[in-house]
Amino acid sequence: MSTLHQPAHFLPLDDYASSTSAAQVPVERELASLGAAYRASSSSAPGAAPELQRAAHLAFLARALHPLPASHVAFDSTRPWLVYWAAHASYLLAAPLHARLQARAAETLLKCQATLGGFGGAHGQTGHLMATYAAVMAFAYVGDRHSWEAIDRPAMYAFLLSLKLPDGSFTVHVGGEVDVRATYCVVCVSLLLGIATPHLLEGCDEFIASCQTYEGGLCAASQPSYSAHATLDRSAPRPALGEAHGGYTFCAVASHLALSLLPLPPCSSSAPQLDEAALLRWATSQQGAASELGGFRGRTNKLVDGCYGWFAGAGMFACLQALLQRRAAWWKSEEEEEEKAQSAAEDEEWIDDPLSFSPSDAFLFDRLALQEYVLLAAQDASGGGGGGGLRDKPGARCDAYHTCYNLSGMSLAQHRLRVDAASRRALEDMWKSQQQQQQGDEEAEEEEADAWRKACYVSCLAWSAEAAHKAVVGEAERNELVPTHPVFNVAFPKLKEMLDWAYGQA
C-alpha cells in the first residue's frame, strides 16, 4: 500500500493558499481534496490504490494518430511530435502501435524531411531542431531499416553543423534563436543516428554550464562576450538569460550527462563549470507538498504540472543520480578505474564530498508521491471525462503531450536505472568493428574513428535496471510501465534496434 506523506511543517490549506495567487487557489484546493479522499480510502480499505486507466489512454492515443478535425489545424506544424508522443506513450503502456499504423506514421515522418537536412513540422517546412528530435525519436518506434535508410544522414550532419555557433551553442533553425533545448536535440539526434563527432559537440558542455542561474537550475541561454575583433572572449562572464526552468534544466542536465560519458577533451579551467550541488538543491525543491499531491513544478512558486513529473522529476533525477554516481571518466580501462577508486578511497576530501552517496540506498525525490499525482490528478480517475488521456492538473483538458510526459515520469518513478560499468564492458566486448584495411596514417585515423563510434554506441546503452528498487503504486499488473531511457526518453529495446542499425551492429 502507498500513502501520501504529510510533511512535519505542512501548513493548513487556508494559510498555504493565502500566500499564492488567486488563480492557484482553486487548483490547490482540488489537489488537497483529492489527496484527502485518497488517504481516507486507504485507511478504511488497506491496499486500495488508484488504477491506471490503461485501455482509455490507449484509445485516446490512437485517436491522436487519426486525421484531426478542423479545430486542430494549429497542430499541423507538430506532426512529428504527435507521432512521437503517441508512439512513445503507447509503448510505455506495453501496447506498441500495430504494423500498418507504424508504416503510415513512418511515411508521414519522411514527408517532413527538409531538403537541406533535418525535419520540419510538416511537409514542405524548413528544418527545425525540435521537429528533428521528435521525428528521429519517433522513428525508433515506427521505423525499420528501410525507412531509416531514407533519412539523409550526410544532409542531417551538415544541417546540425550549420546551426552551431562559436560558443558551442546551437540555434533552433537557420537564423533562429539560441536555446539550450537545441543542444539537447543535437546531442540526442547525432548519437542516435551515429553521426556525432567531437567537432560537432565541441564547446557544448561549456555553453550548458553558462546557462545555470543563481537558483541552481538552468535557463534557455546565456549571453557570450566578444572582443573588439569579434572573437569570442571565453574568460568574460556570461550572464544567464531567463529564470531556471524545469524543461531547460532537464535538456541541459541530460545533455551534460551524455557528453560526460564520451571521451571528449575536458573544458578549460577558465570555462564555466556546472555547479552540481546548486543544481541538486534547486531540483529537490521543485516537488510539491502533500497539498499538491507530490507533483512537480517547472519554476519556483508556480503550480505543479503533470509534464514536469518528467522534466523536473523522474527524468531529471535519473540523470542527476547518474551524474552524482560517476566520479571518474567511465570510458577509461578497468585498471584505470580501479586505480582511481583506490585513490579516492584514500582521499578524505572525496569521502566527505556532500555530493557523494551510495546509489543503492538513496533516492532524490518521492517516487511514490509522483506516481500518486499521475494516478489521482493527471488522469480523471472517476472516468468522468470518458475519453482517456492525461492532463496538466485537475480542470485542464487531456492532450497527447501531457499523456506522453506524465507516463514518462511515472515510468522512471517506478524503475531505478543507473549507468553500469559491467554493461559497458559487455557492450564493448560485443562491438563489431567497421574498420577497413588501411595503411599508415589512414589506419590510425580509422582506429580512432572506430573507437569514437564504439564509445558513442556504448554510452547510449550501458544502463541497467535495479530490480530490487522497483516501486509501483497499486497493482503492478495494472499500473507498471515499461522503463524509458533517461536521456533520450525512448524505451530501451526500440532505442537499441535503431542504434544497432546506425552503428552497424545488427
Which CATH number is 88's domain given? 1.50.10.20
Q: Give the per-residue pLDDT at 488.
A: 98
pTM for this model (two decimals)? 0.90
Residue 496 forms part of a structural domain: yes
Residue 110 forms part of a structural domain: yes
Residues of the chain with pLDDT under 50: 1-19, 344-354, 357-359, 383-385
Residue 427 forms part of a structural domain: yes
Q: If residue 240 lies in a helix (H) or strand (E), which one and from where to where? A: strand 240-241
Residue 344 forms part of a structural domain: no
Sequence-separated (6 or more) residues with CB below 8 Å from residue 372: 2, 4, 38, 50, 293, 294, 473
Residue numbers of the domain that contains 266: 49-326+362-432+442-502
Distance (Å, whole) CA 139 – CA 137: 5
What does DSSP say about strands 463-465 and 240-241: parallel, antiparallel, or unpaired?
unpaired
Residue 417 forms part of a structural domain: yes
Sequence-separated (6 or more) residues with CB below 8 Å from residue 369: 4, 5, 287, 293, 294
Q: Which residues are catalytic?
A: 245, 299, 302, 305, 307-308, 392, 399, 402
Q: Give the per-residue pLDDT at 12.
A: 40
Backbone dihedral angles phi then psi of residue 162, each to the nearest 5 degrees: -70, -20
Q: What angle do CA 272, 278, 282 make, to 5 degrees?
A: 125
Residue 18 forms part of a structural domain: no
Do the beta carbons of residue 151 and residue 193 sit within 8 Å? yes
Residue 357 forms part of a structural domain: no
Q: Give the per-residue pLDDT at 351.
A: 36
Place of cell 488517504: 39
Nearest to 396, CA basis, from 498, 268, 304, 275:
304
Residue 322 forms part of a structural domain: yes
DSSP state of 307: T
Backbone dihedral angles phi then psi of residue 236, each to the nearest 5 degrees: -80, 150
Q: Give the per-residue pLDDT at 366.
A: 95
Question: What 3-state class would DSSP assign to 218?
Answer: strand
How many CB atoms lie under 10 A from the CB of residue 26? 12
Q: How many domains does the chain have?
A: 1
CA 481 to chain centre: 16
Do the beta carbons of residue 264 and residue 199 sit within 8 Å? no
Q: Give the per-residue pLDDT at 270.
A: 75
Backbone dihedral angles phi then psi of residue 218, each to the nearest 5 degrees: -120, 155
Backbone dihedral angles phi then psi of residue 168, each to the nearest 5 degrees: 95, 0
Distance (Å, whole) CA 415 – CA 180: 27
Number of H helices, E strands in the chain: 23, 4
Q: Give the per-residue pLDDT at 362.
A: 67
